[in-house]
Chains A and B, each alone.
Chain A
Amino acid sequence: MDRTAIIGVGMTNIEAEKRRETFADMAWEAVNKALSDAGMTIADIDNVVTTSSDFWDGRTISLMAVGDVSGAAEKNVSCVEGDGTYGAFYANARALSGSYKTTLVTGHSKGSQCVSSLITNAAFDPIYERALGMDMVTACAMQANAYMNRTGVKPEDAALVSVKNHGNALKNPVAQLPMNITVNDVMASEMIADPLRKLDCSPVSDGCCAVIIAHESVATKFRQKPVWIRGLSFCTDSFFFGDRDLARSKALTEAAKKAYAMAGIKDPRKEIDLVELYDAFSYQELLWLEEMGLADYGKAAARLKAGEFNLDGALPVNPSGGLLSGHPVIAAGLYRIAEIVLQLRGDAGAHQVKKAKTGLAHGVNGLCGQSHCVWILDKEK
């Protein structure tokens, strides 16, 4: 199979309220940062994929509003409605298609402009569920209860994820919520939906990320060191919670297995050097790590406590600070990819991890991780 690489990334700062930038202004910034990172001009981009959600954006056909600033005029531009990792998946397919050599993919979101609870409530089935008034937070609380009941993991164990990730964010200039906090601070924060307290939940955020994917025939033509895509896969679970085992995520297990197989990874615990994953809630970092085979089921908390997932640990997880330190929905997974790219190039600055040859980026779509997308990226081809 032909190979592809990521040859440029651009991220806006993630902020609670971007009052001075519209969607298009954010995209303009991220796109230009990515072009400059790659050493490309917009004329070098063959086609564009945007990632956005009409519901979050509050407008239909939302991609058309960011096309101009993404250099999409007179080019093939298409939109993926979902997490940025899925937009990038499509962008990669286009770079492999033979029709295009370079694809620019963006993901944007402004949580500050709408009401998250109402938007995520609308993800529930309109006939059977929506009128009950659940949203992403109360849904994930249900998953957290199922997970903790099954594994014996305690809320204070999961709280340590929040402590670690907010701490990592102190070293990441892009992050929204760098904080030096303790488990006690998390446990003393407002209870929103048992067992999830305010500091177990990712914040409402604004941000845009852009990534440039190139076919191997042009991947070394530009200035930047390419980061090679070794494996990627996504997999989806049933829609209704009651059809799933909420304490587990078999979709993630499948997605990870397929991504490892494509990358030729036999022992992910030995071969993956760092992870950027979708920690929308603190317990999710533990569950996702376990379902990706990077920790035994129910045992990630003990390894976290032992410091293994710290920036200087055996397997750094979310060295950027993760979603807990800034969660622009939709763009969030693309930020994970961009962060892994910076790490593998050695360009992550203060939050650079020591050993970074092979990295894993992870995105989620749907309530309680209905669908997962896993990327294996590598410094070497």
Chain B
Amino acid sequence: MSEIFKGIEPMVHNSKISVPYSWWAGDTASKFFISLRDARKIIAPRCGKCGKVFMPPRKVCPACFTENTDWVDVSDEGTVVSYSVSRRRLEAIPGDKKVPVIWGLIKLDGADTALLHYLDEVDPGSVTIGMRVKAVFAESRTGGIRDISHFKPVK
């Protein structure tokens, strides 16, 4: 630090970037969201070549590098592959969620890849890998990932 800046109080300039984004969901996610919203059904695209069923839905099979050809119904029940419990109120957590928030990576029956979502109606300390869970749909559905409210343990 050179002598000329000795004793200078560090100033701070506060600012914020506020830029709205409207992401077009695209055909694949739109089809999935409409099914959640209107029929409370979880559907997923399947690769015509290797037969893999993808959650969350996407247009392309990364292994075969081809477009997925058909859609199948997958179960609203599945198995917890891993989970995470936030004890601290991290800034990214939505305002309507209270800590502890539990997220699960859930492999639905009939799908080959796992979906990220909330786990709830369960004590965070008793969540385990391998636990069976079932989707709870939101009462008010607008065509988005939170049309599924959360997954709860299968009794």
Chain A contacts to B: CB under 8 angstroms: 19-20, 58, 115, 117-118, 120-121, 125-129, 131-135, 137-139, 141-143, 145-146, 149, 190-194, 238, 240-243, 246-247
Contact = CB atoms under 8 A, between A and B. Distances in A.
Contacts of B82: 142-143, 145-146, 149, 241, 246-247
Given A127-B56, A192-B86, 9 more contacts: A129-B145, A131-B146, A132-B146, A137-B86, A137-B90, A145-B82, A145-B129, A194-B124, A240-B113
9 contacts: A117-B92, A129-B116, A131-B94, A141-B85, A146-B105, A193-B90, A194-B87, A241-B114, A242-B116
A128 B84 contact: no
A58 B116 contact: no
Contacts of A135: 90-92
B115 A142 contact: no
A190 B87 CA distance: 9
A105 B15 CA distance: 29
A128 B92 contact: no
A90 B107 CA distance: 38
Contacts of A117: 90-92
Given A133-B92, A141-B84, A149-B129, A242 B145 contact: no
Contact of A132 (B26, B29, B107, B145): B145
A133 B129 contact: no
Nearest to B30: A127
Contact of B105 (A127, A194, A242): A242
B56 A146 contact: no
Interface residues on B, range: 35 or more
Q: Top 9 closest A-B pairs, CB basis?
A: A242-B114, A121-B92, A19-B10, A142-B84, A146-B82, A117-B91, A128-B56, A141-B84, A133-B93
B50 to A, nearest CB: 13
Contacts of B26: 127
Contacts of B23: 126-127
Nearest to B23: A126
B62 A243 contact: yes
B32 to A, nearest CB: 9
A138 B97 CA distance: 15
Interface string B127-151: 0010000000000000011100000
A192 B88 contact: yes
Given A117-B91, A142-B83, A194-B124, A127 B25 contact: yes
A146 B116 CA distance: 14
A118 B91 contact: yes
Contacts of A120: 92
B107 A242 contact: yes
Contacts of B55: 242
Contacts of B15: 58
A238 B112 CA distance: 14
A141 B87 CA distance: 11
A138 B5 contact: no
Contacts of A241: 82, 105, 114, 116
Given A121-B92, A242-B107, A134 B10 contact: no
B151 to A, nearest CB: 12
B10 to A, nearest CB: 4
A141 B23 CA distance: 28
